[in-house]
C-alpha cells in the first residue's frame, strides 16, 4: 500500500468512535471496522455498512447478500476479495446494530465525516464505481431520488459508475417487480466489470 493508504487502514482498524453508540444497541457489540482496500483497485464497491454476519467474520459481503452481489457482478470470490482489484468502502465500516423491527440501523454519519474524504483522495482513480443502496447513492451521486428511480436511471452514470439496489433477500420482491434490472442493467454491469478487470 502507499504510505497514506497504509496509515489510513491502520487508523481505521483501530477506530472506536462509535463504541458508546453500539454499546447502547440490542447486540451491545463493540466496533469492528471491516477495512478492505489497496492501491490499484479497478473496481470500487461503495455500500451501506456491514451486517452482523460480516461483523462476526471480518470480511465484507461474506454473507448471502455478497453471494447475490458477486453473481450480479459476474465475479468469482477470489477476484471479489482481492483488495488490489476490488476496493469495498461502505458508508460506515462497522455493523451499526438493529432497529426495533430487526432491520439494520443507518450507518453512523460520523464515519463518513471522519474517514471518507481522506480515504477517497488516497485511493485515487478507480475505473468503475458501483453504488449499492440509497445511502451510498445519495452520498456519492448527490441524488435525492429513491433507489428505484436512481437505479432506473443507471445509464446516466455510465461508463464510470452504476447504481444498484442492495442485494439483500429483503429486495427479492423488488427484483421481481423490476425485471428490467436483470434483463437490461445486469448484462451491461457484467460487461463493464469484465472490461475493467482485464
Ligand atoms: S462505524 Fe466508522 S466511525 Fe464508527 S467506530 Fe466504526 S470505523 Fe469508527
Determine the distance separating the centroid of ligand 1 and the alpha carbon of 27, expressed in angstroms.
16
Indicate which atom in ligand 1 lies nearest the CA of residue 32: 6
CATH architecture for segment(s) 3-197: 3-Layer(aba) Sandwich (3.40)
* pLDDT at residue number 3: 87
Q: What does the domain layout of the chain look like in residue ranges?
A: 3-197
CB of 93 sitting under 6 A from ligand 1 = yes
* Contacts for 14-22: CB closer than 8 Å, 24+ residues apart: 15/93, 15/114, 15/115, 17/110, 17/111, 17/114, 18/92, 18/94, 18/96, 18/108, 18/110, 18/111, 21/96, 21/97, 21/108, 22/94, 22/95, 22/96, 22/97
Residue ranges for the chain with pLDDT beneath 50:
none
Ligand 1 contact, 18 CB (< 6 A):
yes
Does 48 contact ligand 1 (Cβ within 6 A)? no
What average pLDDT does the chain have? 96
CA of 166 to the centre of ligand 1 (A): 21
Q: What is the pLDDT of residue 68?
A: 98
Amino acid at each position: 500500500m502507499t504510505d497514506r493508504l497504509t496509515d489510513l487502514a491502520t487508523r481505521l482498524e483501530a477506530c472506536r468512535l462509535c463504541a458508546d453508540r453500539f454499546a447502547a444497541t440490542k447486540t451491545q457489540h463493540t466496533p469492528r471496522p471491516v477495512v478492505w482496500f489497496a492501491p490499484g483497485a479497478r473496481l470500487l464497491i461503495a455500500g451501506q455498512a456491514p451486517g452482523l454476519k460480516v461483523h462476526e467474520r471480518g470480511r465484507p459481503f461474506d454473507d448471502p447478500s455478497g453471494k447475490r452481489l458477486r453473481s450480479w457482478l459476474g465475479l468469482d470470490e477470489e477476484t471479489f476479495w482481492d483488495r488490489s482489484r476490488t476496493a469495498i468502502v461502505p458508508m460506515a465500516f462497522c455493523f451499526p446494530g438493529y432497529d426495533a423491527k430487526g432491520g439494520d440501523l443507518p450507518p453512523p454519519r460520523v464515519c463518513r465525516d471522519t474517514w471518507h474524504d481522506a480515504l477517497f483522495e488516497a485511493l485515487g482513480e478507480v475505473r468503475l464505481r458501483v453504488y449499492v443502496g440509497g445511502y451510498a447513492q445519495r452520498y456519492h451521486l448527490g441524488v435525492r431520488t429513491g433507489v428505484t428511480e436512481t437505479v432506473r436511471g443507471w445509464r446516466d452514470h455510465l461508463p464510470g459508475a452504476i447504481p444498484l439496489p442492495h442485494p439483500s433477500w429483503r429486495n427479492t420482491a423488488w427484483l421481481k417487480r423490476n425485471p428490467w434490472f436483470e434483463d437490461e442493467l445486469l448484462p451491461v454491469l457484467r460487461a463493464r466489470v469484465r472490461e475493467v478487470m482485464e
